[in-house]
Structure formats: C-alpha cells, structure tokens
Structure 1
Amino acid sequence: MRPVFLAGSILAVSLAAAGALFAQDAPRLRGPEPFSLDAPAPPMPRPITNDVRVRRNYPDQPPLIPHNVEGYALDLNANQCMTCHARRFTEQSQAPMISVTHYQDRDGTTLGGLAPRRYACLACHVPQTEARPLVENTFRDMDELAEPEQRTGARGRR
C-alpha cells in the first residue's frame, strides 16, 4: 500500500507544479479573476463602416469586409451578401464581384451557381471593428519580408 500512496503523492505534486508553471506562461485574455465571478460583458466594438477596401497582407487572403453586416440574412433560404456581390449586381451596387472560385466545386468544376462550400461568406470574410488587439501583434506584411532589391525591382518595373 505504501508504494501506491507514494506514487500517488509524487503524481499529485508533479501535476500541481506543472499547473502552476503553465498558468504563469499563459496570460488571461478575457474575463474576471477568478473565472467563476460574474462580470458584465464589455461593450461591442464599433464596426468600421467606411467602405474602404483594406489591403491584403498575403496572397489568397480573403478580403476583409469594410461595412457593417449586423442583421444580414445568411441562412439556408437567403444570402444577403449576394445581393451586392453576385456578378449580375456589381454594376449597380459598385461592390466587388466574388471570385470565380466561389462557383467551383472541390474538383474545379464550374457550377451554375454559388458552390455550397462557399455559401457561408462569414466563415472566411470578417468585418472590421475598432477593437484593440488582445495581445501584441508583431505581424510583418509579406512585402516587408522581401529582399530589398526585390522590393525596388518590383516597383521599378511597373
């Protein structure tokens, strides 16, 4: 019985030490301390609604949404995004047309309508808000990472 008790004690002490170590490494991003306290939710950040397109940071990044989408219908019966971004409405709305890839299935076959896997626009495209970042962001745009001569050479050729 003693070896089992000793092994259990060692395991308990080890787990407690590991828990304390990990708790110090991970900053709390939200919520009160301790987590069991009720606290009022912070106000929702205001959406950016200036309709100015935001430059993409890397190739194939889904475009960001520069307008409010609060209350948009996006369910099995309706996709309000398509009232402006479908090809047939872009001349009137002046909204950018969705990519032709949104009309293709996984195998690259062009479909007669929007591909089911591309139907939920907000799965990839996100609206912008005036929210402050939860953690420091050290992201560098891909153009900043290019070799200096590549950056000047690319500009000189345009």
Structure 2
Amino acid sequence: MAQANQLLPVRVQVDTLIYREDEPPEEIAVKASGFRKPSVKGLFLVYYEEEEEIGRTQNVVKLDETDKPVLRIVRSGGLSMQQTYVVNETTEGQYEVPWGQWLTTVKTEDIHFKNTQSQPTELLISYLLDIGGAGFAKYRVKITITEEEHEHD
C-alpha cells in the first residue's frame, strides 16, 4: 500500500471533446507521464506535456471531495492556466500563451471521479468555457490515470 506522501509514477491519457455551435466536435487526445499522490479525499496529479509551438507545460490537477467536489487545474510553462471547477457554479480564471493572455469563465456541469483498485482511475469533467469573451463552448474531458508497472528487484 502506498504511503500518503509518496508520489507514484503514472501514465495519463486526456481525451477532450469540444462542441461549438454550428461546427463538428473537435477531439484532442494527449498522452503523458506524471506522478500521482495517493489521497482518500480526492486526487493530486502532476503530468507534463510537450508541444512544438509552446514547449513544455506542467499540469497540476487537484480534486478535493471533502464536502462537494472542487477541482483546480493549474498549468505552467509554455502554456499557463488557472481554473477552478465547482458543479453548478460559474468561476473565473486565466489562460496565457506566448502570444496572448485572456480571462476565462467556466460554468461547471459535472465532475465525476472513479477511483477503484482494479481499474484505471478516471476523472470526468463537463463544463462550458468562454475564453476572452469569444462565446461559450461545451467541453467534455476524460482523464484516465494508470499506475506504471513497478519493477521488483
């Protein structure tokens, strides 16, 4: 059993569907490596992405299920973003890339966290996102976390 302060190596798959009015859905899939810290009240995950145009981005995902689910995602590096997600609430954040910075508004519809011993951990998020006043688009994000196989000496 992992200790609470131990970071476990994981593989991360992030699948995003974006629905904009009068356009076909946009699909984005990202595979990454990172670390997960065991938690009885939610999730703490750090993973890294590489993009040719903006470089390396660190993603920190914190889910606290103590009362009602509160999800906070902080991205830093080539892309910077800070956003908090609370079901049935509207929250503001920021999004920044080398060529600009925008305020974001999120209306969170659902957060579902599935954490079982026998299957990969899944975090499902459904929300409406407006970046810089461009209008809301619907996002459905699924983050799948699989522990790396441990080699035994």
Superposed pair shares fold, TM > 0.5: no
Give the TM-score of the pair, scaled to structure 2: 0.20
Give the TM-score of the pair, scaled to structure 1: 0.19
- Compare the two structures and name the one with the higher strand fraction: 2
- Compare the two structures and name the one with the higher helix fraction: 1
Larger Rg: 1
